[in-house]
Structure 1
């Protein structure tokens, strides 16, 4: 999937169908002079549904479908015939889609399961025909009910990617490079900050035909929680990851300080982020000899007593198998 095809935010207007009106028909038949009322009911207006589809990874298919309208219910007829129900509309969305009301910004619901179906706009109920209103004192009612009106809603669809592991790090930390060597994903890689502007997903093939999903999140900068850089635009994607992989290059002047900034930004955005499993990966370690690596290890043991860490090199393919093993254990160990 190219970066331009990844769409994780769309505004869409939906309208259900209005209900059909009931009939005021009076029965007419040869030799039956006063057949009485036999007006049928109006049909139900069409609903608009959102349906979860695990095969979708983006909202790109809705980028240009800004209006979705269901069909109106048919009117009732004579001989107590009911009008046809309006055509329902089904909008398929990827798992992890959050639905908001555009006016109030209130979260209405989330789609998290394949095949999950939720009504976003309910079709109007059809009106009752005059057959329902007959009585001993009014045997030929000449009135019926109109159908109920349609529902309209302006809504926002936000996608929070569903991945097992989220790659967290400063811009240009090597996240895209790591994703490209761990998976078959082909993210854009270049030697400048904010190369990645959209989340990239990749499937890591593990032993015995098992796998897990890893997401390369656009780089965090200090102040991201207040909206600096790409701000909230990408931080919401990290909420879905069960494990966070902090990536810090070995040539960073102060690894602990950079790690603390990343953690602080996540905390300011959503304190629950700190409840997730965390792991620190020191990248670009092909630049170190054994002596420098030992010195760095002594310092890291002091700074990161409760956080597991690992030395890797994406370019030199060092430490990647061990990284997969540790991530798999973290994902499959119950706390």
Structure 2
């Protein structure tokens, strides 16, 4: 029994230096430098794309479709001829109106001659003049009806799908084809009542949509409805976005981010470096090989990173992992973040 006790005492004596060295070994922590990135305060909502201008091409007079001068989906210039209606009746009415005007002018000339000679009275002259003016108005009306048998594009745009064919008989107001202005596009969206004070004219927005998951399209606010919706207590807002390549389409559902503020040089640290203590948030810094604890205030959280708005100046070394086993003022060993603490 005494031999066993002697052996145990000998082993404890031999292992004592290793145990004390291990106890005195400084803790190992992971450290990281705060990153400087662009951080934005955004108001996120949803909206729909609309054409900058949109109209349905319709005839103003009835008639049979004589010819179509466009193809579906084509771009057209303002004033381009799109549809010709049968104009045979309109031309006949124009010829009749011209003949009636010619007769009325001759009658007025004769009435003037007779009045000068005293062979007619003023009433006959007035009636002849009135008939001349009525004939001129009839000619102008017939010419306008003839002109309206040629249906033209009101402005530059892209045509949609036609709803008529050659030979169809159209009444005034029947739909022929839609015409859209696709560059730029309008974006209609709403913001809640509490955010109305944060939105203003010419404020930047960014759009994202499922069709282009890795892209954001830039635009700006062009109009604010001065009256809020009484049911939803929201404000209707209209923005404009460039669409030169026409990849965006009217009617698409989009996510709208209204840019409220930007901080190009914001300081960000990993979220795991933050130590909650009651109502405060703290971080551990490595200063001259020792731990220093500091209170911070954070702003935005972005994919595992937190923006530090108070408590850091930039250039500090932050303990991101292993801070649970350190105390302020104690020396520690450090490795870069991700290399294991």
Question: Is the structural similarity TM-score above 0.5?
Answer: no
Q: Which has the higher contact order (CA 8 A, sep 6+)?
A: 2
Between Structure 1 and Structure 2, which shows a larger proportion of strand residues? 2
TM-score (norm 1): 0.26
- Compute the TM-score of the two structures, normalised by the length of structure 2: 0.26
